[in-house]
Structure 1
Amino acid sequence: MNSSSRRRVIVATVLLVMTCNLSPFSSSLCMAMDHQESLSLERYTDSKEGFTLLRPSSWIKVDKAGATVLFEEANKGSNNVGIVVSPVRISSLAEFGTPQFVADKLIQAERRKESTKGAEVISVSERSGKDGLQVYEFEYKVDSTRGGMKRVFSAAFVASKKLYLLNISHSDGLQFPLDMDRRMILEQVLHSFDVASST
């Protein structure tokens, strides 16, 4: 690309960014540009409930009934990271069932929701957390009347007779599919979910 072509591309990009910022009606192209915004992560630790994870630093902490903590992307509330902590009688996930069994229960619960049009498990895995803690991880797709097609990454573990469940929900429709860069960042969030070190 010669220097005059490069200049034209830079000018066109600047104009596009200005149009996106000034226009009350964002075009699909503006929305697509915004959608590709890069995320940086920061460590979040809840010492009271005893968990830790990386979370998108620009996402806003909001209060929502039923969630121990919830972070939402500004102006895109359907993109969020939520954690629920509940008391249980079991001391490990294995007592509840295999990763596949838990994934099946999770997807059944999704399908029972009135707003769900379809749900499908993509992958199921298991990893070791701090001190060999058993952590199950799931990825699935949900098509919903509330927010359209979504990609969901979940992780679960049991510690100190509490069930910890992480849900990362992100839009993944035909118009704005989940791009590889953002997917990799959300997977970092997923893999970072763990029990917090005792102080």
Structure 2
Amino acid sequence: MFAISSLGCSNPFQNGFFECLPTIHITTPLYTKTRKLSLIEMKKSMEELVPTYSSRRAVNVSILTVLMSIPLPSFAVAIGEVLELERYTDSAEGFTLLKPSTWSKVDKAGATALFQDANKGSNNVGVVVIPVKITTLSQFGTPQFVADKLILAEKRKESTKEAEVVSVSERTGEGGLQVYEFEYKVDSTRGGLKRILSAAFVASGKLYLLNIAHFDGLESPIDPDRRNTLEQILHSFDIAPST
């Protein structure tokens, strides 16, 4: 004889797949007398101990049904979401970029423009415009010098646990505009591990700084499609075309 009982599992994704499978308990009849079993009796006893093919199939189907009924974590849905981009131009401040069409524009002190993911507010695209006395970024320093300044500013925040530069590059924008691009990682007590993509340029006596922040934790790393979309936003940041 055999019996099947299920193990309790409050979080199957945390405890592991195999720890959530049903447990098969096998009980055998107790013999009060010791005697030799014939081949027929031994065969019959083994058939009683081992589930038949149909029984095993029923158990597998039952397991599959339970697993399919478990709701996926919200981050798994967010990973597969495809972001559609649309052009945003601020003619008054003089910049343009692509932004996710579903991300809402919100007001925040110090930000010229901020677009936020409604499902996860720590995912956002922000632009800051401030007046400066220099005419090009090279007058301020090299791309690496600027990247070091950004990292230093991040490390000074009380919430920052770790900050690391990933890459530094330079490209040419509209009309030969000098644009610096940076990528770095920040581990913070506010929002966990984030991937930051930044771009900066100077035009008309103003410093333009783009900051793209996206959650990049071990449980929910950025997938290639989402990363490609974020890079499109990064490379689209430029001075607004003259009308």
TM-score (norm 1): 0.86
Q: Which residue of 1 aligns with 2:238?
A: 194
Per-residue deviation at 1:34?
Answer: 2.7
What is the CA distance between 1:33 and its match in structure 2?
A: 1.9
Instruction: Tell whether 2:100 aligns with 1:56.
Output: yes
The counterpart of 1:40, out of the listed 84, 105, 109, is 84
- Point out 4+ residue stretches in structure 1 off by more than 6 angstroms: none
1:77 matched to 2:126? The reply is: no
Bigger Cα displacement from structure 2, 34-43 vs 150-159: 34-43
Q: Does structure 1 residue 121 correspond to structure 2 residue 121?
A: no
Residue 198 of structure 1 deviates from its aligned partner by 1.5
In structure 1, which of residues 93, 97, 100 is the aligned counterpart of residue 141 of structure 2?
97
Equivalent residue, structure 2, for 1:149 = 193
The gaps in structure 2 that reach 5 residues or longer are 1-64
Task: Choose between structure 1 and 2 for higher RCO, CA contacts under 8 A separated by at least 6 residues.
Answer: 1
Q: In the alignment, which of 93, 102, 110 is matched to residue 154 of structure 2?
A: 110
- Which amino acid in structure 1 is aligned with residue 180 of structure 2? Y
Q: Which amino acid aligns with 1:194?
A: D
Distance of 1:110 and 1:184 partners within structure 2:
24
CA contact (8 A) 2:79 2:223 kept: no
Report how many aligned residue pairs link the two structures.
178
- TM (norm. structure 2) is 0.71
- Aligned counterpart, 1:175: 219
Highest CA radius of gyration, 1 or 2? Answer: 2
Give secondary structure in 2 for the equivalent of 1:125: strand
2:228 to 177, 180, 184: 184
Q: Displacement of 1:155 after TM fit?
A: 0.0
Shift of 1:36: 2.0
Aligned-partner SS, 1:97: coil
Indicate the structure with greater strand content. Answer: 1
State the SS of the aligned residue for 1:74: coil
Stretches of structure 1 lacking an aligned partner (at least 5 in a row): 1-11, 21-26
- Percent identity between matched residues is 71
- Cα distance in 2 for residues equivalent to 1:48 and 1:162: 12
User: Aligned equivalents of 1:194 and 1:91: distance in 2?
Assistant: 15
